[in-house]
């Protein structure tokens, strides 16, 4: 059976799915320039409302002509709502200074200590000033470990916030911009279903798999992923937020998920953990292998990283890149990141071409 493929039309070009969007959280794919995206075959990116608002301010970015002009990047940009920070800064870290109410989520900027109230409405306003192509409603994520009570609360609040987000989105009268609702419910199927149905009732362009669906053993909850995707309308985009490893992407794309974003390829690159074709690294998985390039075993490896690598890496030996990363040299982070994003691009390209 051929894989599900969609073409998403945006103000800044088409996205051919399945697609992987690297995270440019602070307005940059860490250690890359936008020109480097060509080397890594990166065609679209995700950036984050919360971080940009705290670091730069959306009013500033609006004055600078919006994200695309500011970045000089004419391809699609998806902005996350700041919802994940609700999860990572409040729930996961137990930070008492950050709190969540029906009104919104109150954060303390870790860098400056100043307070900021993120609401469904101002998250949309910020994303609108940023001028992104695909937007996300503010939500309250809960992971698989959440209790029934916590998961229910996150569903109820997320639906309520989704309504307010959509109203604000419509009020802003954005043309040809897509808005996504985020499905919550932790690991409880009934709650996931309720969340999906409530969001479909409101109506969105993309339906997003929210909360990190990672099991205690570190693997992705495939059963939940399958259950959820089957509830979603065929004609809408399905976006698996924060997913995942190359295998996760392959598995979910085959189920019918369209969009993916994840920090793994970029963060791991900086940690000397490279994604390479199966059989070429230290440990094999279904569709890839990992290479712990910092390891002593690559000290004398005077050969390229892998068989399929971008031109930029063809004359770089494993031993030399190992050295660069070990001394925390930005040039090394850059090359490793290019490698990993290129590998991810090849995975989605192969999925679209029916080669996986």
Residues that bind RNA (CB under 7 A): 22-23, 25, 29-31, 46, 48, 51, 80-81, 83-85, 87-89, 93, 95, 110, 136, 139, 141, 182, 184, 208, 210-212, 214, 218-220, 241-245, 248, 261-264, 266-268, 270-273, 282, 290, 292, 294-297, 299, 326, 328, 330, 333
With CA atoms as reference, report the closest residue to 81 among 165, 8, 154.
Answer: 165
Closest CA to 20 of 57, 1, 45, 2: 45
Among this protein's residues, is 80 annotated catalytic? Answer: yes
Could you tell me the smallest distance in angstroms from the CB atom of residue 214 to RNA? 5
Report the candidate in 347, 342, 288 with the shortest Cα–Cα distance to residue 311. Answer: 342
- Cα–Cα distance, 253 to 232 (Å, whole number): 14
Q: Which is nearer to RNA, 333 or 343 (CB)?
A: 333
Task: Report helix, strand or coil for 231.
Answer: coil
Is residue 160 within 8 A of residue 201, CB to CB? The reply is no
Structure letter (DSSP) for residue 91 = I
| Catalytic hit among 23, 80, 133, 258 | 80
Closer to RNA at the Cβ: 296 or 354? 296
Q: Considering the complex, state which of residue 240 and residue 356 has its C-beta at the smaller distance from RNA.
A: 240
Contact 181, 207 (CB under 8 A): yes
Cβ atoms < 10 Å from Cβ of 240: 26
Cα separation, 67 vs 57, whole angstroms: 11
Q: In whole angstroms, how close is the CB of 2 to RNA at the nearest point?
A: 25
Q: Is 261 a catalytic residue?
A: yes
- Which position among 23, 36, 139, 261 bears the catalytic label? 261
Minimum CB separation of residue 170 from RNA in Å reads 19
Give the nearest distance from C-beta 302 to RNA in angstroms. 16
Q: Which is nearer to RNA, 51 or 192 (CB)?
A: 51
| CA–CA distance, 244 with 212 (Å, rounded to integer) | 10
User: Of 81 and 132, which has the nearer Cβ to RNA?
Assistant: 81
Name the minimum Å distance from CB 70 to RNA.
18
- Residue positions annotated with a catalytic role: 80, 261
């Amino acid at each position: 059976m051929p894989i599900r493929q969609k073409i998403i039309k945006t103000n800044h070009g088409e996205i051919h799915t399945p697609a992987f969007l690297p995270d440019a959280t602070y307005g940059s794919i860490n250690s890359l320039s936008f020109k480097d995206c060509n080397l890594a075959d990166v065609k679209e990116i995700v950036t984050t409302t919360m971080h940009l608002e705290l670091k730069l301010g959306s009013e500033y970015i609006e004055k600078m002509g919006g994200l695309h002009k500011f970045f000089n990047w004419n391809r699609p940009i998806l902005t996350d709502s700041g919802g994940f920070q609700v999860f990572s800064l409040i729930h996961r870290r137990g930070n008492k200074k950050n709190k969540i109410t029906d009104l919104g989520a109150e954060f303390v900027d870790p860098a400056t200590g100043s307070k900021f109230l993120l609401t469904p409405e101002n998250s949309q306003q910020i994303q609108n000033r940023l001028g992104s192509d695909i937007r996300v409603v503010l939500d309250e994520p809960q992971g698989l470990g959440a209790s029934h009570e916590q998961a229910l609360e996150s569903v109820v609040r997320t639906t309520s916030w989704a309504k307010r987000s959509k109203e604000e989105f419509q009020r802003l009268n954005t043309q040809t911009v897509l808005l996504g609702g985020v499905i919550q419910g932790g690991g409880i199927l009934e709650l996931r279903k309720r969340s999906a149905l409530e969001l479909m009732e409101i109506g969105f362009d993309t339906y997003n798999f929210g909360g990190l669906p990672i099991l205690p053993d570190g693997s992705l909850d495939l059963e939940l992923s399958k259950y959820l995707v089957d509830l979603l309308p065929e004609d809408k985009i399905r976006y698996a937020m924060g997913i995942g490893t190359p295998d996760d992407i392959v598995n979910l794309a085959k189920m019918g998920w369209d969009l993916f974003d994840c920090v793994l390829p970029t963060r791991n690159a900086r940690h000397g953990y490279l994604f390479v074709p199966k059989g070429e690294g230290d440990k094999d998985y279904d569709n890839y292998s990992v290479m712990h390039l910092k390891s002593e075993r690559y000290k004398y490896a005077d050969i390229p990283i892998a068989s399929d690598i971008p031109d930029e890496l063809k004359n770089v030996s494993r031993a030399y890149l190992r050295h660069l990363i070990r001394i925390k040299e930005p040039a090394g982070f850059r090359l490793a990141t290019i490698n990993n994003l290129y590998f991810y691009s090849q995975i989605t390209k192969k999925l679209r071409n029916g080669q996986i």
